[in-house]
Each structure stands twice: as structure tokens, then as C-alpha cells.
Structure 1
Amino acid sequence: MRIFAATFLLLMSFAVSAQTNDTIPRKKITINRIAEAPKIDGVLDEAIWQDAATATNFVERMPVNGRAIPDSLATDVKIVYDDLGIYFGAVLNDPSPNKIMKELTERDDIGASDFFFILLNGYNDRQQSMQFIVTSAGVQYDAKMTNGMEDSSWNAVWYSDVNITENGWVAEIFIPYSELRFPEKKIQEWGLQMERDFRRAGTRYSWSHVDNKKGSFSIYDGEIHGIKNIETQVRLSFQPYVSSYLTNYAGNTEVNFNGGLDLKYGINDAFTLDMILIPDFGQTKFDEEVLNLSAFEVQYEENRAFFTEGTELFTKGDLFYSRRVGGAPSGRIFLNENEVIEEYPSTVDLLNAVKVSGRTDAGLGIGFFNAITEKTYAKIKSETTGEVRKELIEPVSNYNILVLDQRFGGNSSVSLVNTNTTREGHFRDANATGLYMDLTNKANTMNYFAGAEGSWIMQDETTFGTELQARISKINGKNRFQTGLDLRTENYNINDLGYSSFTNYVMYYAGYNHRLLQPKGFLNNMFLNFNLQHRRRLEPDLFNNFVFNFNSSFTSKNFWNFGGGFETTPFGTKDIYEPRVAERHVEVPAYYDVWLWFSTDNRKKFAFGSVVDWYKFDERGRGNLIIDLDPRYRFSDKFKLFWSTNIVLSDKEEGFVDLVEDEILFGQRDRNTIVNSMSSDYIFNNKMALNLTFRHYYSEVYYSEFYTLQRDGELNYFAPGNEEYDTTYNSWNLDLRFSWWFAPGSQMTLLYRNAITSFANESHLNIGRNFDQLFDQEQLNSLSLRLSYYLDYNRMKNWFGGRKNTPASNTSQDGLSYRKFKEQSFMLP
């Protein structure tokens, strides 16, 4: 604790002395106001473009960092603005226009395409920008970028179109102020970065040069000047929806109709309120369920749009796991004699949710989140009388998050986060608070991080736990390092609104990595990473493990990616979690892990990736083999198919089985898991898409011997294996989705869904019998239709005689990119 306090005070001294980083020269452009908005059609033929300020002299960012763009790829970007928003006209030359890569994809997926992107930072603080990308196929991609990290779950309504010309291609873009955040000032100075990706050659060029030797991408923003006295319109939009579900399960067919509303309101130019009333998540992507034999719950990805869009403030400190809201009930059921559970809901209904977020001119970010969930009951049946009673398993519950995040010094911040869960009645309540400092020195060569968290669980009595973190990192040059510590007490628990697994430990770690900053030999880039980690149980003190890890990544000149690594726990592990009982541990022998991976050039129509990973334990016959196979084929610019097979063969692993009276029962087991998944897209045009997604997960567990766990962590033979704990588990999901983006921000989705699961207390089933057993189970078949329509307050005013001269009203729909596609990550290197 004293070490941490000293580190915290040291970092505070850095915070006090930090100054805005002005050592990096900033490229600047001054733009002009226009009186009449251009038509967004990919043709820059209006008079306003002739005298527009033009950004030129792009510089190669990768693979050869710092080289001037060749004349054959000259890129000129014209920029203007008015009271509605800002306009970009990018002319991107290409000596072979007929060879421009332009794959049609769904929204937020780049694919095998050239693209042009814009980063706008209304606060000019070099930390968070709004990112807008348009591909040579006209596909939109948008995201929020914070210190070089991208959040593509954010979706905005903006307008773009592209045009292939005899000299290359043109991208014309209009970004309304309603999608940006900036202070209330008469004279605006924004951060600006623009890049062009030339996919055919695998090169990327930025307007403001990005030096890859140090710092994050965002500190190299240029500046845009000239925006002044803008009269921004009211930022108010509605997105009502209606949906209908036809569901068949266990011979019962149900028809449901739903309706609700999403609302977005700009409290001012900086702060936004998001509200969802009567939510409908029935078309959310299915969870990739697994057979979980570990000591901790599985953390599933969040797929509900309201909980993924614009949540960068709420993820500070990792105290917020949004799946808790509307997740599994928290209550317990106490059965009377001869009673059984007839129905136990797996989720809780969400009544409404609200987010308020923004940032002041002084750099203070404020985020507030609130959600309320409905009462949830289980049905319990008496086997004697047949009577069915209800028992409350989740009361009306309120979830709150408050975040204060102060930025300073160009790329540093101090954050305070509080989460609270309050349940009606005698159910448990919870609170967690975290304080974090993330500091980077003026030269952008060193980063310092410290964090402190406390958790309080209130039920009958209050239980308090804490986590402390500290880290120092060198972030410049080809040789970089980091070292730090992480400590959690036994009672640390944020699981009412966050996610925590390992507790009661202190961990020390250090890492060194070496990278190529310029292409060399047959390589475009190289990353070599060496890591050490030592973990101990905190109370009572006990060695847990010592891990050495080496991993590498290479990209060749022909854009093959490959690498590998090695990991070992040379002294074995004293696992304090697998026994599921406090102050007990199990001895796990040392392991040696070797892996190799590669992926071919994804610019090609056919690409293939593979991973082979082999664990060998210091125990005869014990080991794991993991194989990934990922072929993918692009039949045309409209149609592509991805397949993935993952195989995990685990021999003679030893794990927890059950608690039998006063004994902890372990078993030696063989476990085989095979996962096959497929995704296929057919993009009809820039408004219609058909997507098929399939996944089959299969896992079998066979127990050969059972043991009892001794106090010293050793296992004593107990009994031979039997079928009581053997398991075969299948999960089958298929989604067929048709999407039509019929207006800006508006979407119709028709979805067919088929889902089956099977669980059997037996193993070694042959393929035929396994599938017979799977398809003998009850199947969920669902056909749903959802229609949402985006309504902007200012456009609604125009319907009744308001201002007519806007890009949305003087431009035909065919001249705009209005698509609303699925969310898929694309990370900037």
C-alpha cells in the first residue's frame, strides 16, 4: 500500500507540471464559409469548390514512414463550411482507375477497398476525434478514436458519395454539426487529420505527418481554422421503431408486436442526451455460447446498439459490463419439499435507459448513465398438488454510472468513475468507485498510469474490497518497455454492474518490445515482445505462478502476416481458484506452450489463415493442441464467404468436478471441442444486403479418474471414471438477415433465426448419433421484421415551411450514402 501511495504522489507531481505538448509542428488549413450547399453526388462541379481551401502534400505513413506521396497518387482535399456542417471534396488520383479496389460491404466494414478518412477533433486536444471513412465503393464507416484506440460501435448520420473518374476517384462528404462535439465559441479551432489508403499497393498517406517513432496517432493532428460565428441548429432526433415476431418453440407458436423510441437531444454543442424507451433487442446477434468448466462466468460481447454506441466515457476503468443491465436475475430460489422450478427467466426486462455525455471547453468530460429494469418472477410447481406459485428473483432495479474525466497536457487525463446498483426491497445493493491517472510527458516518450478502486456490497452487512494499479511505460523508439503491478483484495467484487474474476492476488509484470520503424529486407514491419509476470495470493501469502512469454508478429513485402511465440510457467502453478473453496489451492505442473500462425494477403480473392498452438505439461500424457483454420473467398465485389474451424484437443487435464460432503472432488478428463462457423454476405447495392451467419459448437468431456484434493494441493486417487459427470454439449445457431436502408439512418430488417442446444450426460458419441440427439431437441424458429425511421427535428421543420436550402433537401437520395450496416471492427495500425 505504501509503494502504491508513493507512486500515486509521484504521478500527481507529473500532473501538476504537465503542459500542453507544442513540440510537434502542426499543419494548418483555413477554410471559407459558403452561402449555398453543394449536391453530395461525388462530382465537384459547383462553383463553391473552385475557391475552396485545399489540403495537399500528403505524406506516407506506412509502410515507409515519412516518404512524400508520389505525383501519380496526388491527393487534394477541398474543405468548406456553412451553418449546417462541414464539407469535404477529396480528389484522389490513381494512374490505373480501372484497377481501383472497391469491394461492396456492409456499413462499418472496409473490405478490400481503397478508402479516404477524416478525423475531426472539436476540442483540438489531440485525444478524441470523430472518424468518418468512405470507401471507393461508397461504403461508410464511422467511429470515435481516443488516443489512437478506435470505437466503431458509434454510428452517425452523415452524407457521402463517390465517383470513379478517368484520373482516379472522388469522395464528396458532408458532416452535420449534429454529429460533432465542440465548445460554444465564436471562433472555432479544430483538430484535423485525413488519410488515404491505397489498397492495391498496401500504402497509406496522411495529410499531417505521423511519426511512428513515438506517441499515439492522435497527437499528430493538424488544425483547421476559419470556422466562426456558426449558428448551429437544434440537435434533436427521434428513431421510432415497430417490430413483429413470429416464434415457434416446443410446439407453441406466438406472435408479438412491439414499438418503442430512441431519442437523441443535444443539450448544447458539447453534451448529448440519449434515451431508449421500451427497448427491443430481439434481433441482436446471438451469443457464442460455450461449455464453461472454469471457476468464472463467461464474459459475452455486448451486441445491443444502445450499450455500445458512444460509451467511451463509461468504459473508463473497466467498471461497467453492460450485460449486467437486463442480464440474469440476481435472486436465489428456496424450494419447499416436493417443489420443482417450472420456469426461470434467463434475462430481466429493461424498462428504459438514459445516457448523458459530453465535454466542456476546459476538457472536462462528464458521463451519466441510468437504467431501470422490471420485476422478474420464477414459476415454481408443487409435484404433489400441481399448484404453481411465483417467486420474485429480481426486483425493480436501478443502475447508475457517473464519470468525470479531465484531460490536460495534450494526452493526459485524470478520471473518477462511480457505479451503483440499487435493488428494491431486501435484495443486495452495490457500489464501486475508481480514480485513475493516465499521464504522458511533454516529449511523448514516457507514460505513467495509476488507479485505485473500491467496491462495496450491501446485503445484511457491507463488504469492502479494493484494487490498486500502477504502470510505467516507455512509448517511443524501436525499443520500448513497461513495468507495473496490480493488486486485488479477496472481497473485491464489481459484478453487479461490472465484471471481475480473479481476486486476492498481487501481480508484478514487466515487458520489452522491439519493432521495425521502417521496412527492412523482405519485411514491412516486425514486432518482438518479451513479457514476465509473477503472481502471488495476497492473504495468506502463497506463490501462484511465474510466467515467461515471447510473441512475435511480422508482415512481409507481399503482405503475408505471420508469427509465433513461446510461453512457460517453469515453476508450475498453485491455482487458488479452481478448488472453489477459500484458502485452498491445487498444484498444476509446469507447462510449455509453442504456437505458430500465418495469414495470406487479404487483398487477394482467396485468403487463408491458420494457427497451431501446442501446450505440453510437465506430466505424462497431459497437453492441449489447438488448431484454427480460416479460409475466405471473395467471389466478386458483391459476394464473399468466410469459414472458420477451431479444434481444441485437451488430454488428461485435471479440474474441479464437485463438492462431496467435506471433500473437493477433482477429475482427470479428456475434452474435445470443435467449432465451425460461417459468414456470407451478398450486397445487392448500396442499400440492400443479405447476410447468412452460422455457428455450430460441439464439446465433449470424458472423465477417466477422480481424485480428492488434499490440503497441500496434491490430488489423491479416489475412484475410476463413470458417466455421471461425462458431458456432450452442442449449440447450433443460424441467422439469415435481409437489410434495406431506405432513408438516412432508417432501416428495415427481416430476420430468420434457428437455434438449438443439447446437453447429455454421456460422451464418445459418433457423429451421426450426436446430430440425431441435437436435432431431436426442441428448436427455436423465429421470423421477425423490424422497421426503424430516423427523424431529424430540423428536417421535420422543413416539412412545414422551414429552411429549404440544406444538403438533405436539395440532394436526391441516390446521391447520398445513407446505409445503416452491421458493426464490424476495423482498427487503424
Structure 2
Amino acid sequence: MRLLLTTLLLFSTFSSFFSQSMEKDSISRKKLTIQKIMQSPKIDGILDEEIWQNAPVAQNFIERNPKNGQKESEDFKTTVKIVYDDTGIYFGATMFDPNPANIQKELTERDDMGNDDLFGITINGYNDHQQALFFVIQASGVQADAKIMSTADDDFSWNAVWYSAVKITENGWTAEVKIPYSELRFPKKDVQTWGINLMRIIQKTNQNLTWNFVDNKKATYLMYDGIVEGIQNIKPPLRLSFTPYVSSYLNHYDGKTTANFNGGMDVKYGINDAFTLDLTLIPDFGQTSFDNSVLNLTPFEQQYEEQRSFFTEGTELFNKGNLFYSRRVGGNPSRYPETSEDERVLNYPAKVKLFNAFKISGRTNKGLGIGFFNGITEKMEAQIVNDQTGAIRNEVVEPWSNYNVLVLDQRFNGNSSVSLVNTNVIREGNFRDANTSGILWDINDKKNIFNYSGSLKGSWVMDNGTKFGTKGEAGFAKNSGKNRYSLNGTFVTKEWDINDLGFSTTTNFANYNAYYGYRILEPTKKFNNIYLNFNVNYLHRLEPYLFTNLIINHNNQFTTKNFRSYGGGFEFTPLGENDIYEPRTDLRYLKVPGYLNTWIWTESDNRKKFQYNLNLDYYAYDEKGRNLINPSLYLRYRFSDKFKAIWQINPTFSNNETGFAGKNSDDIFIGRRQRNTYENSLTSQYTFNDKMSLSLAFRHYFSDVTYKSFYTLNQDGTLAPTNNFTENLNGTYNSWNVDLRYSWWFAPGSQLTLLYRNAVEDYLGISRMKFKDNFTTLFNEKMVNNISLKLTYYLDYNQAKHVFKKKEL
């Protein structure tokens, strides 16, 4: 505790120093002084109340894309009226359009941006260019919201409870919005000055316009907001909300049907104007999307995307430095039980249960961001049976464990930061503990042209001794104008290990990177934009030194006037690679021949009903008969504003690749193999209205591998033929998942979800099966069928308080 208080004091002093050194804003900012109203308007999308007649107007929007800096067309004029009262701030927007029948208004789920015209609002209650809340209302009526950062680490999983409505008119369309103060962050002052920008997207012309001009050539979007003044004598309400849930599951597997019922709650409490406590009690993540599992033949663990809402929302601070991988909390047990010759594992828990978790996060008015996360997982045991005696014993494979993350992030000079990050895992008993700490810096010059970034991190693992590893990064970049470049370096020691609460793979290496990019952001005669870049990477083993690779890369992308995109590029390794990871043995390496990789892709205009994306990726190795072919096809069709379907297929054919096959006390065995992979997915969605939808997600992944010959690995990385390896490593892996989901947002912040899930997977010790036989074998496996119903209901303390007062009267 003393260390934590000392650290906070140092960062507070640091905060004060840099806040005093901040330069006056040199960017031109529009100003609007707004008025207080005594009677709230009805949020119905019709701007007919008297309060809107004389309200201050934000107007004269300026194009951001494609023609950066051009004034808005008179035919597509935008006006936004803004007022406030004791409970929130109101926006009444009018978007003129000479052809209202062609206003794009595709229905989607909440937070999903469709083929829509839209009106957006960014609000920065601290007026510091660091972080803003983003509220979007689409012409279909569907809401979306996010936290956006000056560092571009935007958090679109953040959800707020606010009110909006739209109306298509004979002159265009209108939007009416109320954002309660309980969803905003601002200081306790009698007079408020907020940074605000307003955005409009006209989908049929692909135009993006903003109230305050945003210069695409440098800095970030948040540096270019305008100012709203006139908000006085408002009191931030108590920010306290409860989201209880109930859920039930009906599972059928291996001829057995089971049912269970769950209940729990999420709590959100505003500690003060800047900091929020999020708490989940007895969480239930049974309706999260399925993981895209693959046949993993690499030396490294497969990383999965986080699907649990508690761990995706409001985590922008915790992602600093890439030291926190939230899937570790409630992930796999850390041990597998030891068994004797007569024993076998009867039951092993697939996942560790999360008991509870909370996080505190926010940022002071001096730019100091503080985030603290704590999670506790339950003790998990495996059952082991003795086949001789029939006795069953339990063994702890994961004890009660405590996970912590602390982040201190000081912002200064508008767009720079220094951060301190610490993660810590403490497990009960003789299980391993771990600690990781890092300091990060991201410094921009006053004109936001040059950037200096880097980090220094250390990891400690306590498991029958202490293992200490380090990682360091440093870089310099020019991030504005047509010509951009950067130089970066990274080193990671052999003992670097953050996998108790983070995710890391490669260690004991150094990497040096040089980048040059050329971009044209203003439309030319033929193109709307052009991007070209060149990269050179030099890698070597850190200890002892060994050259590992030299990678030279070029890629390009351009968008035509009709908004079709094209791209391509090449990459080659002229000296080949010394792969230090594939042998799975310290100080050994496998020689991999050099390759030339070329690719080309094209994407059609996403505003059309039919959209496609075609990609062809080809690797040619400097070795006879060795290549890799990876085409992919994406097709999307919008049948109507309510119904769309997407099909993707991604096959991969790897011929004559080499990879680890096994080892004994004397030799490391490498196999030469043929690998074919097919990944098919189909997603579709029917949206009944702006609050109700039915969606389907299907994925079938199939991969087989056939070994042709085996070798022993020589000390110099070359291969020698061998007949001493006789194991059958041929195999076929299948993964099949279907999710059919009905969602109803029946009240603000409240949702009912009905989900049917069907899943099966198998691994067979044979390969090159016929397609029909492969499916027959897969569907003979035990299949999971699951139906679940989950109800969450949002309760705001302030609204509940008013309800109870009315009842008392």
C-alpha cells in the first residue's frame, strides 16, 4: 500500500508539472454558447418544440473525406441546435438532402455501423483533447457509441444509456438526441467548457463532414474539436446503476440432457466526476461467441479474441503496453495432474470459474489516468481414477487465485503520454506466482509531426525460484504529411515470460525496423487516396548472437473515384531464415529457405447491395516443390435494409513445408509435410427494427496434414534423412460451430437474448479423406446442442429514486 501511495504521489506531481507546461491551443476552434431550458423536449425526432426555435446553431460544416477542407454543399447543408437542462444536454440536428428517398438507412444491431447516413457527436467534458465520448445515431434509428482516444486506442465496446429518435422528412432527415449527464464525464465547476465536435456521413456520396475542421494530414481527430460554452450550475448526478441478470441453459451432449439456472449482477458506480467502479458478481459468460479454433502446428499457443463484455468494455487503460491478456482470467487451469501407471484422468476442468471481478478507471483534470483491475478465480480440481482399485482422488489443478492490473497514464502537451503498468498474479499454495512491470513513453512534438516512443519492461516468475526477463522498445517516427517514416528497435531476453496474465510467444531476439510511407489523402483525377509503404526488418537471436532473418516488404493501396479499392505488394527474404523456435530446443535452429511472397487484392464499393473482396497470396520458396497458396473470397449481399448475408471462404495449400515432428535424448526430428486447410463461414442477420434482430453465425474449419518424409536436425540447421522416426503424425482436424441468436433491446440498457448453439470437433490420425467421408466421421462425434435464455435489465439509481418519490406522493 505504501508503494502504491508513493507512486500515486509521484505521478500526481508529474501531472502538475506537465499541465503547467501545456502550450495554448494553436488549432482554430469554433465556439458555441448554448442556453438552458426549463422544459425538456420530447425525443421523437421532430424538432417542433418552442425550445428549438431560438436555440444556438452549429453550422457551416467542412468536409473531412474525401475532399479534406472543402465547404459543405448547400444542397446537403447541416444545422445542429444545442441546449441543456439540469439532467442532460440535447441536440436537434437537421441534415438537408435533395433526394430523401435515397437516404441510406440499413437496419443493424446496436453498435453495428451499417450502410447508413449518420449523425455523430463527440463530447470531451474536460476539454483536453485526450478522450471523448462518441455518440452516433444512424438514419435507421440504430444507436452506436464508443470511447475515443487521442492515441487511437478506441473502445467501441463501451455502452451508454442515452435517448434518440430520427425522422425522414421532405427536405432530408432529422435527429433528436438527449445525453444524460450520468453518461458524461466533466469536472465539478460552476461554469463548464466542453470540447465538442459534430459529424455527418452522407453514405451515397461517401462524404464525411464535421462542424470543426479536421486536418487529415497531421495529429488526431480529438485535436480538432470545437468548444461549447454557457453550461452553468449543473451538478453531476450520482452515477450508480445496476444490471442484474438471470439466465437458464438446456444442454444436450452424449445422450444426456442437463439444465441449470444462474443469476448475478453488474454494478457501475461513479466514485467521483472522473473515476468509475465496475463490478461483476457471479458473472455468466455462457452466451459469448465461439472461438475460431485451428489446427495449431506452431511452437506457440493460439491467441483468442476476448468475447466477454466485462473484459472488453472500458479497458483502454488496461491495454497499455500489451501486458494484459484478459483471457487468462478464467482461462485454462495452470497444471495438469500427475498420474501413476495405474491411473488416468477421469475429469479435467476445461475452464477456471471466475468468482468476481472489478475495475476502477478514470482520468483526472490534470490528465492522469488511473486504472486498477482485480479478479478472483475459484479453486478447480481434477478427478483421477485408479483402474486397478477403482479409487477416485481429487487433485487441485488451479487454486484460488488473485489477478491484479495497475495502470498510471499521464497525458500532457495535448497528445503525449508516459505510463506505468504493473500486472500481478498470486496463487494459493505452491503454485507459481508472477509479476510484470513496464514504463512506456509516447512523446509528440508541439506540431504533432514527430513522435518518440518506447518502453522498458520486466517480468518475474516465482516457481521454485525466480525467473527474470526483460523487453525493451524504442522508436522514432514522422507521422504527418505525404512522406512518413520511422525507425524502431525491440529486444526480448530469453527469460521474458508474461503468460500468467499477458500473452507472449517469441523470446531471445532483437528486431530492427525501418519504414517509409507515401500517401495522397486528397483526391486526384483518378483516385480518392493512395498509400504506398516500404519496410525492412532485420532480426537476430539475442544470446548467443545468430542472424535469423532479413525481411524486405512493399505494399500499396488505392481507392478509385467510384470507391473501388485495389492493392498488392511483395515481400522477400533474400538470405533465408534461421528459425530458432521450430526445433523447440534451446540454442538449436532450423534453416528455412528464402521466399518471395506476392499478393494482390480488390474490394468493391461497400455502398452497393453486392460487395466482394478477392485476395490472392502466393509464397514461392527457394526450394524445389515448396510453395504456399492462400486465396480468399468475401461476398456480401444486402437483400433489403433489414436482411443481409455474408459468405467467406479461405483455403490454404502449403506444399513441402518443414516442421517439428518430435525429439528424443539424442535427436530432433523434422518432418516434410503437405497441409491443406479450408475455412468456410456464413453470417446473416435479419433486423426487425432498431431494437430487435435475428442473426446466424456458422463456421466450418477443416485442416489435414500429410507427412512425406522425416529428418534429423543437424547442429548447423540443415536436415539429414532418417529412418529412425516411425510415428504416424498424419491427421485431420474439424471444427463446426453454429450460433442462432435472437436479441431484443426492450428498454435502454436492457436486453433479452435467446441463443441456440450447435458445436462439434474431432481429430483423426489419418489424412486426405474424401470430403463426404470427412463429414460423415465428424457428425458421428458427440455433438453439443445448447439452448440458453438470458435477461439483463438496466436500473439507474436516479430514475428509480424519482419513481419511488412519486409513489410516496
Q: TM-score range by the shorter chain?
A: over 0.9
Q: Distance in 2 between matches of 1:37 and 1:655?
A: 68
Instruction: Give a deviation string over 1:198-223, Cα, whole Å, max 9, x none.
Output: 00011111111111121122211111
By how many angstroms is 1:150 displaced?
2.4
Instruction: Give a deviation string over 1:536-592, Cα, whole Å, max 9, x none.
Output: 110001101011111111111111111011001111111111111111111111011
Which residue is equivalent to 1:727?
731
CA contact (8 A) 2:378 2:400 kept: yes
Which residue is equivalent to 2:10?
none
Which residue is equivalent to 1:38?
41
CA contact (8 A) 1:704 1:722 kept: no
* Matching residue's letter, 2:482: K
Q: Normalised by the size of structure 1, how large is the TM-score?
A: 0.94
Which residue is equivalent to 2:367?
363
By how many angstroms is 1:779 displaced?
0.2
Distance 1:228 1:735, change over 3 A: same
Which residue is equivalent to 1:827?
none
By how many angstroms is 1:252 displaced?
1.2
Q: Distance in 2 between matches of 1:190 and 1:463?
A: 49
Which residue is equivalent to 1:581?
585
* Matching residue's letter, 2:204: R
Distance 1:88 1:609, change over 3 A: same
By how many angstroms is 1:799 displaced?
1.4
Q: Distance in 1 between matches of 2:329 and 2:666?
A: 36
User: In the alignment, does 2:215 pair up with 1:211?
Assistant: yes
Which residue of 49, 58, 63 maps to 1:60? 63
Q: Distance in 1 between matches of 2:100 and 2:153?
A: 32
Which residue is equivalent to 1:650?
654
- SS across alignment from 1:801: helix
User: In the alignment, does 2:158 pair up with 1:150?
Assistant: no
By how many angstroms is 1:715 displaced?
1.1
By how many angstroms is 1:750 displaced?
0.5
User: In the alignment, does 2:172 pair up with 1:172?
Assistant: no
CA contact (8 A) 2:296 2:302 kept: yes
- SS across alignment from 2:47: coil
Q: Distance in 1 between matches of 2:237 and 2:195?
A: 22
User: In the alignment, does 2:383 pair up with 1:373?
Assistant: no
* Matching residue's letter, 1:26: R
* Matching residue's letter, 1:39: K
CA contact (8 A) 1:703 1:721 kept: no
Paired residues for 1:62-461 under 5 Å: 62-147=65-150, 148-461=152-465
CA contact (8 A) 2:648 2:680 kept: yes
Distance 1:764 1:108, change over 3 A: same
Q: Distance in 2 between matches of 1:60 and 1:655?
A: 53
By how many angstroms is 1:723 displaced?
7.0
* Matching residue's letter, 1:114: D
Distance 1:194 1:16, change over 3 A: closer
Instruction: Give a deviation string over 1:622-674, Cα, whole Å, max 9, x none.
Output: 11000111111000000000000001000000001112332111100000000
Instruction: Give a deviation string over 1:432-455, Cα, whole Å, max 9, x none.
Output: 011011111111111111211110
Q: How many pairs were matched up?
A: 792
- SS across alignment from 2:98: coil
Which residue is equivalent to 1:768?
772
Distance 1:688 1:770, change over 3 A: same
- SS across alignment from 2:668: strand
- SS across alignment from 1:719: coil
By how many angstroms is 1:17 displaced?
11
Distance 1:519 1:767, change over 3 A: same
Q: Distance in 1 between matches of 2:319 and 2:231?
A: 32
Which residue of 562, 565, 575 maps to 2:566? 562
Q: Distance in 1 between matches of 2:692 and 2:19?
A: 54
CA contact (8 A) 2:109 2:691 kept: no
Q: Distance in 1 between matches of 2:104 and 2:169?
A: 14
By how many angstroms is 1:149 displaced?
4.0
Which residue of 761, 774, 782 maps to 1:778? 782
- SS across alignment from 2:148: strand
CA contact (8 A) 2:643 2:684 kept: yes
User: In the alignment, does 2:753 pair up with 1:753?
Assistant: no
* Matching residue's letter, 1:498: G
- SS across alignment from 1:112: coil
CA contact (8 A) 1:741 1:747 kept: yes
* Matching residue's letter, 1:383: D
By how many angstroms is 1:720 displaced?
9.2
By how many angstroms is 1:456 displaced?
0.4
Which residue is equivalent to 2:708?
704
User: In the alignment, does 2:661 pair up with 1:638?
Assistant: no
By how many angstroms is 1:378 displaced?
1.0
Q: Distance in 2 between matches of 1:34 and 1:494?
A: 54
- SS across alignment from 1:255: strand
By how many angstroms is 1:311 displaced?
0.3
Instruction: Give a deviation string over 1:420-469, Cα, whole Å, max 9, x none.
Output: 00000000000001101111111111111121111000111111111111
By how many angstroms is 1:518 displaced?
0.7
CA contact (8 A) 1:190 1:225 kept: yes
Q: Distance in 2 between matches of 1:17 and 1:186?
A: 22
Paired residues for 1:606-625 under 5 Å: 606-625=610-629
CA contact (8 A) 1:591 1:617 kept: yes
Which residue of 19, 22, 29 maps to 2:22? 19
CA contact (8 A) 1:723 1:761 kept: no
Which residue is equivalent to 1:519?
523
* Matching residue's letter, 2:701: Y
CA contact (8 A) 1:704 1:720 kept: no
Moved more, 148-157 or 205-214: 148-157
- SS across alignment from 2:778: helix
Distance 1:598 1:116, change over 3 A: same
CA contact (8 A) 2:188 2:236 kept: no
By how many angstroms is 1:18 displaced?
6.2
Distance 1:720 1:73, change over 3 A: farther
Instruction: Give a deviation string over 1:759-792, Cα, whole Å, max 9, x none.
Output: 0010010011100110000000000000111001
Q: Distance in 2 between matches of 1:601 and 1:331?
A: 50
Distance 1:590 1:803, change over 3 A: farther
Instruction: Give a deviation string over 1:96-129, Cα, whole Å, max 9, x none.
Output: 0011010001111111110111111112121211
Instruction: Give a deviation string over 1:16-42, Cα, whole Å, max 9, x none.
Output: 996336221111111111112111110
- SS across alignment from 1:306: helix
Paired residues for 1:453-532 under 5 Å: 453-532=457-536
- SS across alignment from 2:776: helix
* Larger relative contact order (Cα-Cα within 8 Å, sequence gap ≥ 6): 1
Q: Distance in 2 between matches of 1:127 and 1:611?
A: 37
* Matching residue's letter, 1:64: K
Which residue is equivalent to 2:631?
627
Instruction: Give a deviation string over 1:49-108, Cα, whole Å, max 9, x none.
Output: 112111001001111110000000110001111221111111000000011010001111
Moved more, 329-338 or 437-446: 329-338
Q: Normalised by the size of structure 2, how large is the TM-score?
A: 0.96
By how many angstroms is 1:386 displaced?
2.2
CA contact (8 A) 2:457 2:472 kept: yes
Q: Distance in 2 between matches of 1:46 and 1:252?
A: 61
Which residue of 794, 797, 801 maps to 1:790? 794
Which residue is equivalent to 1:717?
721
